[in-house]
């Protein structure tokens, strides 16, 4: 078993069966945590749990009663959760506002917004009673800037604001609540959209200051920092992990980002 900053800690990760959630499970476990992998996809949760020596739980985050039952089951099987990471989510096809159906809006809001609330409540209320805990919600850069994602963008903005509200609600109870907002991240979820032609890799890379996409491990590093006691004075923030996408966009009005300076042969090596 690995030891590290999370030795003796129990971490629950919703959407832990794939992408960013799976990367969080691996990193938390490699740094000592006992991990509960929560996912609506039972087989995916079991595979990641087996890999990290954790426990799998089947959960549809959109149902409050299911979140309550899962928080109780995690507590009974592993002990009370010290860390919750809410990665469960669905992406959305870019559509004109007039084209998106009521059913699609409801689907995205039910999982991305209400699902995050449900998990935070089920686990957070238990943390507050124990006066210890760290919750990290996974929002998105789409929650900070508008995109042609008329359900997803507002749902992620709501996640950022609910993070702030809960941070204030539970601060005196020893529970920190922070958001991480990934940029375009190479996960099975986004890869499927790239393969359907709904996202273009070159465009996604070019839109960021660093000229790159995000890897799931980049997001997991930020999550692990916020989950750890090293971040004990931090609550209520939204931390973008976006390769500088948020700072780069407004440069389009001035002709775009400047070309790279320096020697291409030594770039990235600090030489
Ligand atoms: N990939 C990106 O570019 C990107 C960017 C910003 C934010 N995000 C967010 O990160 C999170 C993870 O995304 P990803 O790209 O790793 O996606 P992914 O599709 O690879 O993984 C998402 C996981 O969530 C699970 N899930 C879906 N609905 C669920 C439900 N109702 N209950 C429980 N589990 C459910 C899926 O089974 C899957 O295992 C999402 O909230 C997404 O919005 C992703």
Active-site positions read 152
Residue linked to tokens 């929650």: 143
Average pLDDT in the 27-42 region? Answer: 98
Distance 254 CA to ligand 1 centre (A): 35
Instruction: Give residue 91 CA to ligand 1 midpoint distance, Å.
Output: 7
Q: Using CA atoms, how far apart are residues 224 and 209, in angstroms rounded to an integer? A: 24
Report whether residue 87 contacts ligand 1, using a CB cutoff of 6 Å.
yes
Q: Report pLDDT for 220.
A: 98
Residue whose CA is closest, atom 43 of ligand 1?
89
Q: CB of 145 closer than 6 A to ligand 1? A: no
> What is the DSSP-derived secondary structure letter of residue 254?
G
Give the mean pLDDT of 28-46: 98
User: How far is residue 68's CA from residue 79's CA, in Å, rounded to a whole number?
Assistant: 15
- Supply the residue whose CA is at minimum distance from atom 17 of ligand 1: 189
10-254 has which fold? Rossmann fold (3.40.50)
Express each pLDDT in 65-105 by its tens digit: 999 999 999 999 999 999 999 999 999 999 999 999 999 99
For residue 221, how many C-alpha atoms fall within 13 Å in the half-sphere facing its CB? 8
Say how many Å lie between the CA of residue 189 and the centre of ligand 1: 7
Q: Which atom of ligand 1 is nearest to the CA of 219?
A: 10
Look up the pTM and report it: 0.96
Whether ligand 1 lies within 6 angstroms of the CB of 16 is answered as no
Please list, in sequence order, all residues whose beta carbon lies within 8 angstroms of the beta carbon of residue 248, skipping any fewer than 6 positions away: 207, 208, 209, 257
21 C-beta neighbours (distance < 10 Å), count: 31
Q: Tell how far the Cα of 231 is from the centroid of ligand 1, in angstroms.
A: 25
The domain segmentation of the chain, as residue ranges, is 10-254
Mean pLDDT (whole number) for 240-245: 98
pLDDT 10s digits, 153-168: 999 999 999 999 999 9
């Amino acid at each position: 078993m690995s030891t590290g900053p999370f030795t003796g800690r129990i971490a629950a990760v919703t959407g832990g069966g794939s992408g960013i959630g799976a990367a969080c499970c691996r990193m938390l476990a490699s740094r000592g945590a006992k991990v509960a992998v929560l996912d609506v996809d039972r087989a995916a949760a079991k595979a990641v749990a087996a890999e990290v020596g954790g426990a799998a739980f089947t959960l549809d985050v959109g149902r409050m009663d299911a979140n309550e039952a899962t928080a109780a089951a995690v507590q009974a099987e592993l002990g009370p959760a010290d860390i919750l990471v809410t990665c469960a989510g669905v992406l959305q096809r870019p559509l004109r506002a007039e084209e998106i159906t009521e059913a699609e809006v409801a689907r995205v809001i039910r999982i991305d917004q209400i699902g995050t609330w449900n998990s935070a409540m089920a686990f957070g209320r238990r943390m507050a009673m124990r006066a210890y805990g760290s919750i990290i919600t996974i929002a998105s850069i789409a929650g900070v800037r508008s995109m042609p994602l008329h359900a997803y963008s507002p749902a992620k903005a709501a996640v950022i604001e609910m993070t702030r509200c809960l941070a204030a609600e539970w601060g005196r109870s020893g529970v920190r609540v922070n958001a991480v907002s990934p940029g375009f991240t190479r996960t099975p979820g986004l890869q499927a959209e790239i393969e359907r032609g709904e996202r273009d890799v070159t465009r996604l890379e070019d839109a960021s200051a660093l000229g790159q996409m995000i890897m799931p491990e980049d997001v997991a590093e930020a999550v692990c920092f916020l989950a750890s006691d090293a971040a004990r004075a931090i609550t209520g923030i939204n931390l973008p992990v976006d390769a500088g996408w948020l700072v780069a966009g407004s440069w389009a009005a001035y002709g775009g980002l400047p070309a790279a300076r320096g020697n291409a042969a030594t770039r990235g090596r600090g030489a």
